Amino acid sequence: MNSVHRNMYAQGLYRPRHGGMLAGVCAGLARRFGIGATMMRLIFVISLIVIPGSQILIYPVLWLLLPKEPVGSAYGTYQSPTNTMR
């Protein structure tokens, strides 16, 4: 696992395995910031209307950067992995 993913895990940023609609980016951000996934999606859509453009580029980048939630983790209890995969 690379350092970007480790940093994301340490900050509580990851895409959940369940509850995502497209890639789970909004659901992952919503969990991290303690709001509902529907509210985060609504914020995303409103931001597209108010400030169009950059969100279309940011979403796929976050899709690539945010790691998937680890298998078997309970929401909010996952700790950073100790073994390093190269």
Q: Report the C-alpha gap between 19 and 4 in whole angstroms.
A: 23
Query: Quick one: pLDDT at residue 74?
Result: 55
Query: Quick one: pLDDT at residue 79?
Result: 45
pLDDT, mean of residues 17-21 = 75
Query: Quick one: pLDDT at residue 39?
Result: 93
Residue 72, in any domain of the structure: no
Query: Quick one: pLDDT at residue 78?
Result: 42
43-62 pLDDT, tens digit per residue, is 988 988 888 777 778 888 88
Domains identified in the chain, total number: 1
Indicate yes or no: pTM above 0.85. no
Residue 73, in any domain of the structure: no
Q: Report the C-alpha gap between 33 and 38 in whole angstroms.
A: 13
Q: Which domain holds residue 51?
A: 3-65
